[in-house]
Amino acid sequence: MSGKDTNGRDNARPSDGDFSERLRRLDIALKKAKADHADGDEHSPRPSKSVQGMAQALRLASEFAAGVIVGGGLGWFVDWFFGTSPWGLIILLMLGFCAGVLNILRSSGLTKLPGTRD
């Protein structure tokens, strides 16, 4: 056999010098890539606009749900403690709904708190 494979390439074993040369080139390329990555902020991971929007929507939804759940829980407790079923639940559930809407407006920046300046 002549030492060539079917594609015409030499299939002789590479020498240690070939490996060390390839290792040196790879080391240089890795150092250059690390330096480029450390210098440039364009490669740093940042959340996209859609992810930020989804996070804000989740926050607003949880603020609204918290107001309604707290209002309903307090209404149920008032009805249980005073025996005024279902009026405490109805009234405090509506107040919880209003508090949830107000929390959403405040969190989204659509309303200003009283006594604050521009």
- pLDDT tens digits along 23-78: 899 899 999 888 877 665 555 566 688 888 899 999 999 999 999 999 999 999 99
Q: Please state, in angstroms and rounded to a whole number, the distance separating the CA atoms of residues 81 and 108.
A: 36
- What is the full DSSP assignment across 9-28? -B-PPPPHHHHHHHHHHHHH
Number of domains in the chain: 2
Same domain, 28 and 56: no
- Say if 79 falls within a structural domain: yes
Q: Look up the pTM and report it.
A: 0.54
- Say if 3 falls within a structural domain: no
pLDDT value, residue 9: 61
pLDDT value, residue 1: 47
Q: Please state, in angstroms and rounded to a whole number, the distance separating the CA atoms of residues 82 and 44.
A: 58
- Say if 116 falls within a structural domain: no
Same domain, 38 and 53: no
- Say if 36 falls within a structural domain: yes
pLDDT value, residue 118: 56
Same domain, 35 and 57: no
The answer on pLDDT for 111 being more than 90 is: no
Same domain, 70 and 41: no
> What is the percentage of the chain residues whose pLDDT exceeds 70?
74
Same domain, 19 and 57: no
Same domain, 54 and 92: yes
- Say if 114 falls within a structural domain: no
- Say if 117 falls within a structural domain: no
Range of the domain at 29: 14-46
